[in-house]
Structure 1
Amino acid sequence: MSVRAAILLEQRTRTEGKSRTEIQKLIGESHSEIRSVESQIADLESRLASLVERRDRENLVVDALRHLIPPIQLPVELLVQIFGFAICMEEQFGRYPHFQDAYRVSHVCSHWREISFSTPHLWTGPVDVNLGEDGGADGFRTWLSRSAPMSVPILLTWFPGKDVAHPVLEELLAISPRWRSLHLRQYAPAWFFMRLAEHRLESLEEVNLGLVPDGVGTSALPIFGAAPLLRKLDVVPTSRLNMPWMQLNDLALRNGTAPDTSLDILAQCANLVTAYVGTLPWTPSRTEIITLAHLRTLELEFFECGPETHFMPFLDSLFAPTLTSLSLSFRLHCPWLVSAFTAFQLRSPHLTSLELSHASLTSDDLRAVLFHAPLLSDLSLRLCPYCVDDTLFLALHYESGSKPLVPHLRNLSLQGTSPTTLSDNILVGMIASRWWTDAEEESRTAPAAIARWERVELELQTIKFSQKFEDMLGDLRRSGLHIGCGDTIQ
């Protein structure tokens, strides 16, 4: 039975025997009940709408709160490490992007901003300032304050004609005790050194000065003597240059300095470990020997070589008993004296790395060099036109049971060289004689008499190799040997 039929039956029973007036009264009571129920429904609908509004608002609150939570829930220490990886401190395309990187990290959320602002080392990237540009000092002051108390590298670019104090420079001078390094990209005016003499440099470790201007007297330069941590200097030297030479362990003397000036400076640098000298060859005029007892890496570049000048007197003046790495580079032809170079090698018996560029030594000269370098592990020859031939490769070929030449040689680089004679089978035979696979290495019952190759680089000009030679090189590569071939190999 439907609801309607049931209600009809119910009301028929209810009104049985009642008059019309009584039934009309019942109808009025029902209308009153309907109005009461409708009033209650309206009240409930109003309350429901209010509840729906509250619910929707709380949903928005939840969404807002979730947005404020850091996107990655990690310990602060781990976040700081991640920030460090995200901030590039290296130069890219002539600019340092760490300014933008650090600000980008600090603007992700308030939590990250709080962490980054309280982590000084995230703000210690190189401060690269072009003093020819107009820039507000306030931004630099804020940046520098976030790095405190840590030290920072300073790079300054000068603009010709602007010999006046710059607001940013004043901010940098104010934190001079926190300078870790100073690099002058261009020659600084004399007044800068005078100003610098007024400030402390107690954290300074590295200085790249370039050329010191003529207007700077020797009295201004001892400012670096008051830098107790200074260990590395890059400069175009002059005879009047006054520096704390004794405390340096890394020195670069540039721009073809006169050899006597260079040697006078080196004589004061008893604690050098690494040195680069760009100098000139000359007719011998010195007899004293300079001892550099701690020197391990020496790079010499000789300019303006000529038939009546020579580079060997420079080496004749040096005694470097702990030297392990030597690089010689020549701008023009310079005669090679094998006996003098052998004498230098005997004074530096621990040489493990030798690099020659534009050297004029012959194949016989090079074999003499290798004979007196029994510990040599790395040999690089670049644009050396007379020393690479079949005789050299036969000397380097290892035969079991024989006394090997340079038994520790692991890396060989021949770049831009035009061999006078070169046979495919001699070259590849030499390479193969000093190579064996990992499996062969593991199966050895006794150490090998020579070291095996780590890498061989071949860039030989005007040479056309046979297909058989290239196939043999391919076999060596597939066995695990790293062989690099330049584009000049055909």
Structure 2
Amino acid sequence: MEDSTMNDFYTILAESAAPGFERQARSLLVEEEAKLARIESQLKMLLWTRDRQRARIAALKYVVSPVRMLPADVLLVIFKQAFWLGLGSFEPPSRLVLRLASVCAYWRQLVISSPRLWAWAMKLNVSNISPWYTEVTKTVFQRSSPHPLSITMTCRDHKKPVSATVVKTVLSFAHRWSRINVNFDLTPFLNAAPRPTLLEHLTFAKLALSQGAKGKESDIFLHAPKLFDLSISIGRLAKLPLPWSQLTKLELTTYRPFTSSEFLATIEQCTSVSDLQVDSDGWEQGDDISIPPHFVSLPRLRNLNLRMSGNLDPFFAHFTFPALSKLDVYLDWSVSFENSLRGPFSAFLGRCTALEELEIFGSEMNSETLDDILLNIPSVVDLQLICCFACVDNAFFERLTYREMDANPPAPRLEAINLENVGDCYDEDVVVAMVRSRWWKDEVYNALPTPPGVARWKNISISANDTDGAELSDEFKAVMQDICAEGLNFDVYTYTRPSG
């Protein structure tokens, strides 16, 4: 085809050398252009005929295919199965639904009329100010009615303003929220939600409110009877009224400044909470802290995770958690506060009579404080000390060494300890004595006439931080190997600086 086209081109160029050909060429040009127009018209008709024929063939294939015999409700079951299988491939839900709707007009109608296919978890970019984006969002919400909505709103580009139209569209469907996750300050928009609004489906909310949150106070979340799981980052706790008393799981991040009365009073209200995580700056020296004459109890709290810096005494002096099973205390070692776990913390542990797991990270406590802790954890089974550099020494291992004459041995139920990055201010023989005092081989343990006064070890792991070249002795390694052969998981590590 290409060679023929070039031959015609060179032929006309050769003919153009003849006298008078230019005048003849003008008339030929008109004729050839008219011929091209007729060919293009015929081609357009042929293309239309081809597309129509393809549609007829597709329709006939559908007519003779087994899937045509399936009732609409069976087809929808297949669609839903295909949809959920497609989600496993990480393909956007919208693309999966549109693909099903693009097969034929009948399938399109089925897809549009099936709300369940449109009730996927939506992730919205509120930085998108396109009117089309808002309309598509609204259309999806409408087509998924009446099913609950799981919505994540993110501001992907914080340099751009939040699209009020997108946010208000989401708020107009608040009565159907089941989960709402927002990474920007929603406060200025909350009053745009229809009133009254009952958030009857809402079970989970994750909110990030700026420290200086603007906008009028809104009580919208007070009307959410099923809201049990809340994650909130907030500057002023009183800014957004929330149903604290019904929450069973709470992740609370607060910023300074907050008043002790406001913070502690908020935690007091969480009488149904079983899982609590608090990330806060804590108190500073000299803060005016009002402690009630009696302890405040959260009777259902089982798991507590504290990520705090500064002085924690007001918290520990304020509360008692009789059902607490697991406690994690993560302290910011970049903010040194030497006595952050002194006094009130040990007494607090003594009140948590159901505590089984205790982890402390980054504490500046000394060995005396740790000794008090060991005397106040009678039910603890698993103890972890991580990056607590100044508290693990010979006195720690000697305190945990069991002697039959001890009427009240410390930590009698302790079965596992993990000491990670705690230094090496202890002697190997003291460690071995501690391990041996609470370890019996199976045959020896089973032959004891009465159970010992302490639990038998299950796991012991000790790792020192940089130790200036200190290494374990061969004798200690041999003892450790023998104990491991007897059935105890016993590991001691040291990290030495590379030479040079």
Matches of 2:489 and 2:80 in 1, distance apart? 39
- Quickly say closer, same or farther: Cα 1:436–1:261, change in 2 above 3 A: same
- Quickly say closer, same or farther: Cα 1:79–1:324, change in 2 above 3 A: farther
Please give the residue correspondences for 1:14-25 in structure 2 after superposition, counting only pairs within 5 Å.
Answer: none
Please give the residue correspondences for 1:382-461 in structure 2 after superposition, counting only pairs within 5 Å.
Answer: 382-399=386-403, 402=406, 404-423=409-428, 425-435=429-439, 449-461=453-465
Unaligned runs of 5+ in 1: 1-60, 69-75, 90-95
Report if aligned partners of 1:417, 1:459 keep a CA contact under 8 Å in 2. Answer: yes
Matches of 1:400 and 1:116 in 2, distance apart? 74
Partner of 1:333: 336
Q: Give the C-alpha shift of residue 98 in structure 1.
A: 6.9
Instruction: Confirm or deny that 1:128 pairs with 2:131.
Output: no
Q: Out of 174, 182, 193, which is 1:184 matched to?
A: 182
Per-residue CA deviation, residues 6-50 of structure 1 (Å, 9 max, x unaligned), is: xxxxxxxxxxxxxxxxxxxxxxxxxxxxxxxxxxxxxxxxxxxxx
Q: Out of 151, 154, 158, which is 2:151 matched to?
A: 154
Aligned AA (1:162): P
- Quickly say closer, same or farther: Cα 1:194–1:384, change in 2 above 3 A: same
Partner of 2:251: 252
Please give the residue correspondences for 1:239-388 in structure 2 after superposition, counting only pairs within 5 Å.
Answer: 239-241=237-239, 242-257=241-256, 258=258, 259-277=260-278, 278-282=280-284, 283=286, 285-288=289-292, 289=294, 290-303=296-309, 305=310, 310-331=311-332, 332-334=335-337, 335-336=339-340, 338-388=342-392
Report if aligned partners of 1:98, 1:125 keep a CA contact under 8 Å in 2. Answer: no
Q: Secondary structure at the match of 1:419?
A: coil
- Quickly say closer, same or farther: Cα 1:125–1:395, change in 2 above 3 A: farther
Task: Give the TM-score normalised by the residue count of structure 2.
Answer: 0.66
Please give the residue correspondences for 1:39-188 in structure 2 after superposition, counting only pairs within 5 Å.
Answer: 87=87, 99=93, 126-133=121-128, 136=133, 150-158=147-155, 159-167=158-166, 169=167, 172-173=170-171, 175-188=173-186
Q: Secondary structure at the match of 1:316?
A: helix
Q: Secondary structure at the match of 1:391?
A: helix
Partner of 1:196: 193
Partner of 1:6: none
Q: Give the C-alpha shift of residue 189 in structure 1.
A: 6.1
Matches of 2:109 and 2:415 in 1, distance apart? 51
Report if aligned partners of 1:256, 1:302 keep a CA contact under 8 Å in 2. Answer: no
Aligned AA (1:413): N
Partner of 2:206: 208
Per-residue CA deviation, residues 117-147 of structure 1 (Å, 9 max, x unaligned), is: 9998898664222222467467656766786
- Quickly say closer, same or farther: Cα 1:180–1:436, change in 2 above 3 A: farther
Which has the greater radius of gyration?
1
Q: Give the C-alpha shift of residue 153 in structure 1.
A: 3.1
Aligned AA (1:153): S
Aligned AA (2:268): A
- Quickly say closer, same or farther: Cα 1:217–1:146, change in 2 above 3 A: closer
Aligned AA (2:122): V
Task: Give the TM-score normalised by the residue count of structure 1.
Answer: 0.67
Report if aligned partners of 1:84, 1:122 keep a CA contact under 8 Å in 2. Answer: no
Report if aligned partners of 1:379, 1:411 keep a CA contact under 8 Å in 2. Answer: yes
Per-residue CA deviation, residues 408-460 of structure 1 (Å, 9 max, x unaligned), is: 2233222222132332x332443454445677777778656443444433331
Q: Secondary structure at the match of 1:229?
A: coil
The total of aligned residue pairs comes to 412
Matches of 1:471 and 1:126 in 2, distance apart? 57
Q: Give the C-alpha shift of residue 250 in structure 1.
A: 2.4
Report if aligned partners of 1:83, 1:105 keep a CA contact under 8 Å in 2. Answer: no
- Quickly say closer, same or farther: Cα 1:384–1:82, change in 2 above 3 A: farther
Q: Secondary structure at the match of 1:461?
A: strand
Q: Give the C-alpha shift of residue 148 in structure 1.
A: 6.0
Report if aligned partners of 2:126, 2:163 keep a CA contact under 8 Å in 1. Answer: no
Aligned AA (2:214): G
Report if aligned partners of 1:333, 1:358 keep a CA contact under 8 Å in 2. Answer: no
Q: Give the C-alpha shift of residue 184 in structure 1.
A: 1.3
Report if aligned partners of 2:213, 2:235 keep a CA contact under 8 Å in 1. Answer: no
- Quickly say closer, same or farther: Cα 1:244–1:481, change in 2 above 3 A: same
Q: Give the C-alpha shift of residue 172 in structure 1.
A: 3.9
Unaligned runs of 5+ in 2: 1-60, 69-75
Matches of 2:424 and 2:134 in 1, distance apart? 60
Moved more, 431-440 or 355-364: 431-440
Report if aligned partners of 2:83, 2:97 keep a CA contact under 8 Å in 1. Answer: no
Matches of 2:376 and 2:345 in 1, distance apart? 10
Aligned AA (1:280): G
Q: Secondary structure at the match of 2:391?
A: coil
- Quickly say closer, same or farther: Cα 1:294–1:98, change in 2 above 3 A: farther
Aligned AA (1:414): L
Partner of 2:472: 465
Q: Secondary structure at the match of 1:327?
A: strand
